[in-house]
Amino acid sequence: ERLRTWIARTSERLYGSRAPLVEALVNGRRGGLDPALRDDFAASGLVHLLSISGFHVGLIVAWVVLGLRAAGVRREPALLWAGVLATAYVGFLGWPAPAVRAAWLAWLLALLRLRQRAAQPDALLGVSALGVLLLDPWAVADLGAWLSVLSLWGATRFARWTDAEVGRGKLLEMGAGSVGATLAGAPLTAAVLGTVAPVGIILNFAAIPVAAVAVPGVLASLLLAPLAAPVAGALAAGSGLALHLLELLARAGGRLPLGHLTVPPGPPQAVPWLALLVAACWATGRHVTARVAGWRSLGIVTAVLWVALGREAAADGLLAGRDGAPGELALHLLDVGQGDAAVIRTPGGHVVLVDAGPAGPDGDAGRRVVVPWLRRAGIRSVDVLVASHGHLDHVGGAGAVLDRVRVGLVLEPGAPVPDAAYGAFLEAVAGAGVPWRPARPGERFTIDSVAFTVLRPDPAWPRWGEDVNDDSVILLVEYRGFRALFPGDAGFAAESALAGRVGPVDLLKVGHHGSRTSSGDGWLAELAPQVAVVPVGRNTYGHPAPEALARLAAHGAEIWRTDRDGTVTVRTDGRTVRVEGRARRRILDARAAASATP
């Protein structure tokens, strides 16, 4: 641990702001990385460079062998010494399963070379994986271990076919290996992580050679820091340039359209990628010539394009009528964890986004959930982004949305909030060049016959400014006979101030994630919601509070929760209301408008 601490301090001294990236590459610790940069590495398919895996161990082995051979050491002793150093490094890291597998593979290769035996690649990979399980049976549940094995199998399997049927060449071999590694790991990453990054196939051509220089350069600078500080500084300068190139590649790849595909995690998501992997193996089967493989691949690509175009057309409404049947309003309360984000899509296909989810140590919901959801739904622009208030769980993801989706107008509270998240939100709005203005009480605008009304306490209200939650922008949505209310995090005080000004609603987005200080009896008696959706995730606040749930139930509201029902979608033609969640659905009659106060 003292050595790890020394490495962290030395990295900070040598690399400054890039020290967290050095920590990830050397120690496997990614906690200090900027979340946005970490997301970019994942979205660009380069996250494997930040995980201590077979790639890193292979680099160490290759550079040690290269150095010893240059010093005149024979191949076999050089391989043995490389195995010793690789094992010591893996032990220093704490024996992560992917690195153990790579070190074990290095030893097997050295022993086979000493005994002058030729090894079958698949058999060698199988034995090395079995060795990991013998040392640590719990590695069978390690996602990194499985990805390490699958990726190496895919890379070697497709590279061997290319060598046999197409021809030998480093670029050709690297391309085939990159495609194979991505295809082999895609079913698992789609099922467990809900993400696949095809752009990594291309980016690896540049990223792997850069990392192959950066990693040994970083290690050498750290080793030489106590012995020859000037030399270590020079190495750090060169390695820092390589690290900067990796960052640029990750950022470019993370922003490339369709380079990163995001789906809801789950076993069904593995099926299409598993089918694609099987099809690729069929197209490049044993003794299949390059000509035959080309025709088979053309057929596979054609089938994939038809499926993709069909899904895109359905998402854009070209086949299914926008977001449902013609003339329907759709409200999607997204499952963003402990935070708020709702997409309102009008009958004409215009979009209003109410909040954008949280951002924090667990990731950026705007980048991880909201933007991918919009892209899957065929939404390329948002007409109005409404920020209910300046807390991180509501505006944390707005920066990612503003960075990746065209936004026409931002409506926000317009009241100074001593919160860094609110300042970052305003900077993102200014940086994107999006027009913005405060949401004024009583303000009303209409899009495709859907009326949006801002209901919030007036700044002259005596309790204005006491609690940011009570100053939330409260949005009333009305379409024909349907009414829905989005109260942000408003509590008892704001509810009391608005008494008699709202009237009945069909849908209530429950305020403040079901806090015990929101959704009071008087408020619920006036609203009389048929459906109450609680946007909530794992938290330490006790949300939703049993008291709030009891009050909602007592007033006849049917309770839906995003932590249990996933994203809740409400579709209505103004007369009938259809509510859908992860495993249930309901059909109701819209009735609020008939008894609402004008």
Q: Is the model's pLDDT at 383 over the cut of 90?
A: yes
- Residues 98-109: what's their mean pLDDT? 84
Residue 319 — pLDDT band, cuts 50, 70, 90? very low
Query: Which residues fall within 8 angstroms of residue 246, CB to CB, at 6 or more apart?
Result: 21, 46, 49, 207, 210, 211, 214
User: pLDDT exceeding 90 applies to what percent of the chain?
Assistant: 30
Q: Provide the mean pLDDT of the chain.
A: 85
Per-residue pLDDT reduced to its tens digit, 514-563: 999 999 999 999 999 999 999 999 898 899 999 999 999 999 999 999 99
Q: Please give the radius of gyration of the chain, using alpha carbons only, rounded to the nearest integer.
A: 28
Q: Is the model's pLDDT at 114 over the cut of 90?
A: no
- Residues 67-74: what's their mean pLDDT? 88
Per-residue pLDDT reduced to its tens digit, 20-67: 888 887 777 766 777 677 777 777 877 777 766 677 788 888 888 888
- Residues 179-200: what's their mean pLDDT? 84
Q: Is the model's pLDDT at 317 over the cut of 50?
A: no
pLDDT at 316: 45
pLDDT at 155: 87
Strand, coil or helix: 377: coil
HSE-CB at 511 with a 13 A cutoff on CA atoms is 29
Report which secondary-structure segment, H or E, holds 206.
helix 200-224
Residue 598 — pLDDT band, cuts 50, 70, 90? very low
Helix axes 200-224, 170-192, angle to 10 degrees: 100
Three-state SS for 499-546 is CCCCCCCCEEECHHHHCCCCCCHHHHHHHCCCEEEECCCCCCCCCCCH
pLDDT at 264: 64
Token pair of 159 as six digits: 């590279």
pLDDT at 322: 44
pLDDT at 318: 38
Rounded to two decimals, the pTM is 0.59
pLDDT at 121: 84
Residue 509 — pLDDT band, cuts 50, 70, 90? very high
- Residues 375-399: what's their mean pLDDT? 90
Closest CA to 390 of 496, 460, 333, 470: 470
Per-residue pLDDT reduced to its tens digit, 136-187: 888 888 777 788 888 888 888 998 888 888 888 888 888 888 888 888 888 8
Residue type, 247: E
Higher pLDDT, residue 163 or 258: 163
Cα gap 258→187, rounded to integer Å: 18
Contact 537, 337 (CB under 8 A): yes
Query: Which residues fall within 8 angstroms of residue 329, CB to CB, at 6 or more apart?
Result: 344, 345, 346, 347, 450, 477, 479, 482, 571, 572, 573, 574
Cα gap 536→340, rounded to integer Å: 8
Q: Is the model's pLDDT at 293 over the cut of 70?
A: yes
Cα gap 521→63, rounded to integer Å: 70
pLDDT at 385: 96
pLDDT at 204: 82
Residue 315 — pLDDT band, cuts 50, 70, 90? very low
- Residues 345-365: what's their mean pLDDT? 90
- Residues 299-327: what's their mean pLDDT? 62
pLDDT at 445: 93
Other residues' Cβ atoms within 10 Å of the Cβ of residue 415: 14
Which alpha helices (DSSP H) does 270-317 contain, by range?
Answer: 270-283, 290-316
pLDDT at 61: 84
